[in-house]
A and B are shown apart, each in its own frame.
Chain A
């Protein structure tokens, strides 16, 4: 369960996530200062919610004076994809019942992507170490941003906002090189999500959940009997 080499591997696998999270969390800290919430509240946002985009959305809505019910529903929809991600991780490995509350707390798009691409079984030690590295980046970045974020030059701030996307691409490409199916399913999901985004019928939270499910179904039927 807590094997030293697996913990080490988890900490190391979390490094790219740390690097990707830190600057974005700095931006969050900066933004939360600019909307006049306290450092403690900003810290609570990142340490308790631990979710990227939805924190920005929630903070903006709160600042705009939008009601609690609407904020809660929006954030729920935005993060509902994590339901699918947690389900996928537990279809790979049987986690210790008592550690599930800790392991699942750290499931984000990024830690999920890293963990899902890992070969073989996942251990509790690996998962917690991976999530811990990511969490540390997110929470420390928030505090640094709140306290000292104004010092970053604008061009640098702008260019690091590509970090997380670069990381997603870096995780996806090796999988695509190994399997045509992986690439096909990813492209379908991206295209469906883009089309739904431009059509503007539903919120982006719905769009992403529907695209993930639709593309996985497409893969399920297109590649039936091939494996």
Chain B
């Protein structure tokens, strides 16, 4: 089995779940209740993407990862620019790593 075969199969099973709902769901015909359910998905998805994955962001350093994410939350609370938050978080994390935590 060569890599390209694997890549093509991976592409199919990644692409189809992204593609099909857009054809089947029509914003004008979607029931109000389903719309309300779907309106929670972004927050639920973010929660599930942040926890527990972020704790193991830096391999072998859960304390640094947790502190870095806590720093990100504090920084994001006081400024709404995503890029600023990302850069400051990386800087804080780098400093934490330098302290040898």
Enumerate chain A interface residues (CB-CB to B < 8 A): 15-16, 19-20, 37-38, 41, 44-45, 48-51, 54-55, 58, 62, 67-68, 71-73, 75-76, 79-95, 97, 100-101, 103-105, 107, 109, 112-113, 116-117, 155-156, 158-163, 165-175, 177, 181-183, 185-194, 197-198, 207-208, 211-217, 219-220, 227
**A162 pairs with B90, CB closer than 8 A:** yes
Residue of B whose beta carbon sits closest to that of A99: B22
Question: Contact: A68 with B9, CB < 8 Å?
Answer: yes
Shortest 9 CB-CB distances between A and B: which pairs? A190-B51, A186-B47, A189-B47, A166-B89, A173-B76, A116-B42, A170-B85, A215-B44, A219-B40
Q: Indicate the member of B15, B23, B30, B73 with the most A CB atoms within 10 Å.
A: B15
Interface size, B (range): 35 or more
Residues B14 and A82 in contact, CB atoms below 8 Å apart: yes
Query: In the complex, what's the smallest C-beta–C-beta distance from A30 to chain B, in angstroms?
Result: 14
Q: Is the interface of A mostly helix, strand, loop or mixed?
A: helix
Q: State whether A190 touches B86 (Cβ < 8 A).
A: no
Question: Which residues does chain A contribute within 8 Å of B9, judged by CB atoms?
Answer: 68, 71-72, 75
Report the separation of the CA atoms of residues A197 and B49 in the bound assembly, to the nearest whole angstrom.
Answer: 12
A215 to B73, Cβ gap below 8 A? no
Bound Cα distance from A191 to B56, whole angstroms: 15
